[in-house]
Amino acid sequence: MTLEKLLVAALRRHLAGGKPVVPEAGVVLWNLFHEIGASRTYHAAGPHPISFAEIEAYARLHHWPLQPRHVAIIRALDDAWLEQAYAAMGAPNAGTPRRFPDQAINPAAFDAVFG
């Protein structure tokens, strides 16, 4: 099993009320995810996902040399967290956290946003 899958499984166990089993190799990423997630913002329909900019800013501020695979693990943890958060809210499509709009952009929508 990959580190990403082990950490996501530990997070799901934790969110279900169980004791997470965090592999030693993932302790730093586990803690980073929770620290970055503590500054999560919310909108009317629920929590926002953690953005690449937030991860990059946190890593730069704390001098953590994160590599793309580390960011991918943090984002996978965030997907699992969002899935549980939206499911707890009874949101439609709770099993798949939405990171992107579900409608394609068209010229009218572009003009409405950017003028």
Residue-wise pLDDT for 37-49, tens only, equals: 999 998 888 899 9
State residue 96's pLDDT score: 55
Cα-Cα-Cα-Cα dihedral sign, residues 23, 27, 28, 29: positive
The angle at the Cα of 79, spanning 26 to 48, to the nearest 5 degrees, equals 120
Greater confidence (18 vs 88) lies with 18
Percent of the chain with pLDDT over 70: 88
Least-confidence region, from 1-5, 36-40, 44-48, 50-54: 44-48
Average pLDDT (26-30) is: 95
Q: Can you tell me the distance from the alpha carbon of 8 to that of 76, in angstroms, rounded to the nearest whole number?
A: 7
Query: At 94, is the pLDDT very low, low, confident or very high (cuts 50, 70, 90)?
Result: low
Predicted structure pTM score: 0.77
State residue 101's pLDDT score: 55
